[in-house]
Amino acid sequence: MKKFKPVTIEEVESVWGNANFGPDLNNRKMDVIRGALLKWASGFSTGHTAFCLLVELGLMTENKRLTVRGRQQLWEFFGKDCPSV
């Protein structure tokens, strides 16, 4: 299995573009990614922009499924060691 590469703020900045989640969240971009990933993993959906960011970061597929990286990142976001995926 490939070594897990966590999402960096630089990666988020590179895919963010003109995304706008309002003044409270635009300065907390990683929080937007964290929340969107948790929503999808929990069976909820997000808006189109948040979904596209997850796809561009390699956390989800176009078919709305979490990737291996997405599952690993979810564990990382919440400070847990990821079991083998």
One-letter amino acid identity for 42?
Answer: S
| Tokens linked to 49 | 């922009």
The per-residue pLDDT for 2 is: 66
Residue 22 backbone phi and psi in degrees, to 5? 95, 160
The per-residue pLDDT for 82 is: 74
pLDDT in tens, the chain (85 residues): 568 899 999 999 999 999 998 887 777 999 999 999 999 999 999 999 999 999 999 999 999 999 999 999 999 998 877 776 5
Q: 25: which residues sit within 8 A by CB, 6+ positions away?
A: 31, 32
The per-residue pLDDT for 84 is: 65
| Long-range CB pairs of 34-40, under 8 A, 24+ apart, other chains included | 34/77, 37/66, 37/70, 37/73, 37/74, 37/77, 38/74, 38/77, 40/64, 40/66, 40/70
